[in-house]
Structure 1
C-alpha cells in the first residue's frame, strides 16, 4: 500500500498484553482502521517474551523492550516515559514519509513532542489523542510540587503544539480549551467496541454482590467501598463485595475490609480472564467505581452491556459521570461517604430487573452511535483523510 493508506497508532501499551481503558481504546482504533483497509502499524513497547505477536488487522512494531511504567505508588515513571518517547522519535524520524497520519497518545506527554519533532515538515498528519487533561493541582497531587508543576507546564506546551486533538468527554474538551488548544478538539461520540458479543440481561446473581473492576491506585479510591457495603448490608444482609485487580493501594483496601469486619463477605480474585470478567459483570447487582479521575469510563459501558447498573461518585475530574442517566443505567453518589455510597447501592438494588433492563436498553441505544467506528470516522473526516477504498477508486479512474 502507498503512503496515503498507511497509518500508525503510538502508545506504550497494547491490550490484552496490558490492561486498561487506554489499551483497549487504541487497540480498537487500530483494529477499526485495519478493517477500513488502512495499512496500520501499532508502535509500542514489548509486553511479552519473545517475538512480537501477530495481529489480524495491524502490525505490531516493538520500539523498546519491556518497560517498568509505574512506581510502587502507582505513578507513571519518568525514565520509562522518556525511553519510550525517545524510541518513538527515532522510529518516526526513520519513517517520516511512510505514514499519511499518526495517532499518538497524549499520555505520557513526552509522546507529543517526540511525534511533532520527528515528523516536522514531512507532510504526515499528527493527531494527539488526550485520554485526560489535568489542571495544575492534579499534577501536583500526583507527582509532587516541583515535578507536578513541570508536568503541567509541559502539558500546556504540548497542547499548544497540537495540530489536531481528539478526546472522549466534554470535561476533557473544556480543559483542552482552557490549556490553550488553538483548534476545537474532535470529541468522540464514544468508545464502544460494537464487535463484542454480550448475552441478554438477566437477574443479578444470588447472593447479590457489588463489583469493582480496575487497578488499585489512590485516584480510584477503592478503599471507600468496604465501609459503604457494610452500611448497605444493614438492609441487604447477604450483600457481598468482589474487588478485581491489584495495585499499590491493595494493602490499604484489605486493611479497610478488616476494619469493617468484611473478611467473610469480600473476595479479592485479582486479575481474571476475559471470560470470568464477563461472568462477574453479568451477575453483579451493580458495578461500583468511586474514582475521582476518569477520562471516559469504558467500564460503565461494559457493565451496562450486561444489564448491570453502575454506581459512580461525583467529582470534577470524573468524566465517566457524563455516561450516566440517573435511574436509567446507574446512580451518581454525591460523595464517597459510606452513607451516600450505601444509599446509591441500595437504590440500584431496589431498581431490580427493571433497572437492569433499562441499563441494557441504554447500551443498545449507545451501541448505534457511541462506537469506536464512529470515533475513527470522525478523526478521518477532521484530518481530512480519504479511506483506502476512495484512494483505490481514484487510482483506477482513467
Structure 2
C-alpha cells in the first residue's frame, strides 16, 4: 500500500514528447510532474515518447519515472501500439525490456491521440490539454488541417466514448463537451506552480518584455514583435527577450529585420531553469500572445516571480491561469494588446500591484495537490483491475 492508502499501480503515459525533447513545452512539464507525484506516492510510472538526439533511448528521471523513447514524431504512435501489444502478451524483446502490462494507460492527445483503447487491454484515460480547432489551419495546409480536425473532433470522441477524460482547465472541459464528450466524464486537474529557482533578480533599469515558450506559429510571437515596433518610437530603450526554441525562429528573425527592431529583440534560445527564472524576475512584463493554451503555465511561472502577464481572453485556459485586471490583463485583439502593454509599462504602481497579486495567485496551485487529484483518478480507474 502507498502513502495515500491505495494499491500501487503501474501507470503508462503515452505522449509524443518529453521535457528533454527540443520541441517539448508546458504539456510535457505537466505530464512529467504528474508522473513524479504518482511515483512519490508509490506508483510505478513509465513514459513512452518519441526518440530524439538530445537523450538516450531509455532512462530514469531523478524522480523515478522510467522513460522509453521510440520512433519519430510521426512513428511514435505505431511504436507505442507495438510496444503495448508486446508487453500485454509477453512477446519478444520488447517484453524483455519489462514494460509489462500496465494497470492504466494515460493517452495524451495532442491533437492526434495514440488510439490506446484499440490495443491497451486495460483502462485508458484520455488526457487533453486543449482542443486544437484553431491550431490545425495555422500549422498545416488545408488538407492536413481538415484531416487532423476530423480525427480530433469526430473519430477520437467516438473511440474514447468509454473512457474518462482529464483536462487542465474549465475552458478546455467546456470545449470538449461541444465535441460530444459528456461533462460527467471529464475531470479538471490544473497545473501546479513550478518551484522558484535562484535568487530574486532585480528588474532591468530599462523597460523590458519577455516571451517564454516554443517558437511555433500558433504561439504568435509576431504579435509581441509588432508591439515592440509600435512602442519603440516612444520607448527607445525597450527590450524584448524571446526565450525558447523551435522551427519558427527564422521567420521571426526575418520579421524583426523587416520591422527594424533587430537591436531591441534578443532571441535567447533554450534557457536553463536558472536562466529562465532570472529572465522572469528581471522582465517588467511577460507576454503570452498564444492563439490557444490549455492552461498557460508560463503565466503562472511569471506570477511566481511577481511578473504580470498580458494575454488574449479567447485563448482557452489563460483566463484561469490569471485573474484579469488583478494579476495581469486579458485583451480581445492585437490593437488592445499593444495599448495595455504601453499602459502597464508606463504605470509603475499598477504594474507592481499586479505583480504582488500574481505571486499570491500562483501560490494557490501546487504540484502536490495536483498529483493527489490525479492519484485519486488512478485509484478509481483501476479499482476493478484488482
Q: Is the 8 A contact 1:329 1:356 kept in 2?
A: no
2:9 is matched with which residue?
5
1:377 is matched with which residue?
372
SS of structure 1 residue aligned to 2:294? coil
Runs of 4+ in structure 1 displaced over 4 angstroms?
Answer: 1-4, 198-203
Q: Distance between the aligned counterparts of 2:381 and 2:157, measured in 1?
A: 26
1:55 is matched with which residue?
61
Aligned residue pairs: how many?
365
Q: Is the 8 A contact 1:101 1:125 kept in 2?
A: yes
Q: Deviations over 1:247-300 (max 9, x none)?
A: 343333223322332223221222222211111111001111211121211000
Q: Deviations over 1:118-175 (max 9, x none)?
A: 22xx4x321110022133x653454333322222222222122320101112222112
Distance 1:7 1:304, change over 3 A: same
TM-score by structure 1 length?
A: 0.81
SS of structure 1 residue aligned to 2:334? coil
Distance 1:190 1:363, change over 3 A: farther
| 1:318 shift after superposition | 3.7
Q: Distance between the aligned counterparts of 1:359 and 1:177, measured in 2?
A: 34
| 1:359 shift after superposition | 2.9
Distance 1:305 1:16, change over 3 A: farther
Q: Is residue 256 from structure 1 mapped to residue 248 from structure 2 by the alignment?
A: no
TM-score by structure 2 length?
A: 0.84
Q: Is residue 349 from structure 1 mapped to residue 345 from structure 2 by the alignment?
A: yes
Q: Distance between the aligned counterparts of 1:142 and 1:172, measured in 2?
A: 20
The more displaced of 319-328 and 199-208 is 199-208
Q: Distance between the aligned counterparts of 2:8 and 2:245, measured in 1?
A: 43
The more displaced of 217-226 and 1-10 is 1-10
Q: Is the 8 A contact 1:327 1:355 kept in 2?
A: no
Q: Is residue 325 from structure 1 mapped to residue 323 from structure 2 by the alignment?
A: yes
Q: Distance between the aligned counterparts of 1:133 and 1:276, measured in 2?
A: 31
SS of structure 2 residue aligned to 1:99? coil
Unpaired segments of 5 or more residues in structure 2? Answer: 89-99
| 1:353 shift after superposition | 5.6
Q: Is residue 99 from structure 1 mapped to residue 98 from structure 2 by the alignment?
A: no
Q: Is the 8 A contact 2:125 2:164 kept in 1?
A: yes
The more displaced of 304-313 and 199-208 is 199-208
Q: Is the 8 A contact 2:344 2:350 kept in 1?
A: no
Q: Distance between the aligned counterparts of 2:223 and 2:381, measured in 1?
A: 49
| 1:17 shift after superposition | 4.0
Aligned Cα root-mean-square deviation (Å): 3.0
Match 1:29 to one of 13, 21, 34: 34
